Amino acid sequence: MRTSLYTDECRPDRRVAFFAGSFDPFTKGHEDIVLRALPLFDEVIIAIGVNPDKVGFLTIDQRHRWIDACIGWRNGVRVVTFTGLAAQAAIDQGACCFVKGVRTIQDFEYEMQMAQANHDLSGLDTVLLYTAPQLAHISSSLVRQLHTLGQDVRPYLPDMAPIGMLP
């Protein structure tokens, strides 16, 4: 476990947030969290977790390209992929904290447990940002389900989303 947040990798003059998830696909809710985190941090790393045992809706490469198209081009945003523990990946990337979005009380309870585990593993704290009320119903699972059923999912996706990439 890191004993100090003020190591060479994570200095108090460089605030880097680590926003980890599967982002399958990246939605307007995810975009909102990143846009609201940007003024708080020097950099927000959108970190796509790779689980080699799971088959995603989009491939890891497609998710990376999707996020790059949606928001990765903005100053202060970097998109990476990682395998293994998010806590280790955050340290490896020089993050000073995690940032997560919370939509519901169930999200809060889950994220609280994850925040505690990540702190135990890395010494990093987690900043929770509450989802904007008009976006609270949006999830990647909802988008996948609606798309599979032939529904228009554009209202749930960032304006710059490469819709043609959806399977």
Can you give the CATH number for the domain in which 47 is found?
A: 3.40.50.620
Q: What digits encode the pLDDT tens for the residues 109-162?
A: 999 999 999 999 999 999 999 999 999 999 999 999 999 999 999 999 999 999
Full-model pTM: 0.92
4 belongs to the catalytic site = no
* Domain range for 40: 16-150
Identify whether 10 is part of a domain.
no
122 belongs to the catalytic site = no
Identify whether 33 is part of a domain.
yes
Identify whether 167 is part of a domain.
no
The DSSP result for 100-122, as a single string, is EEE-SHHHHHHHHHHHHHHHHHH
Q: Which of 30, 64, 100, 144 is catalytic?
A: 30
103 belongs to the catalytic site = yes
Q: Which of 2, 36, 65, 103 is catalytic?
A: 103
Q: What digits encode the pLDDT tens for the residues 77-122?
A: 999 999 999 999 999 999 999 999 999 999 999 999 999 999 999 9
Domains in the chain: how many in total?
Answer: 1
Average pLDDT, the chain: 92
Computed from CA positions of residues 157, 159, 165, 167, in that sequence, does the dihedral angle turn out positive or negative?
positive
The per-residue pLDDT for 10 is: 57
Count CA within 13 A, CB hemisphere, residue 49: 15
Q: Which of 28, 63, 100, 140 is catalytic?
A: 140
Identify whether 134 is part of a domain.
yes
- Beta carbons of 25 and 140 less than 8 angstroms apart: yes
- Beta carbons of 83 and 50 less than 8 angstroms apart: yes
Mark 61-70 as b/e (b = at least 16 C-beta within 10 Å): ebbbbbbbeb
Identify whether 124 is part of a domain.
yes
Q: What digits encode the pLDDT tens for the residues 4-33?
A: 444 445 566 789 999 999 999 999 999 999
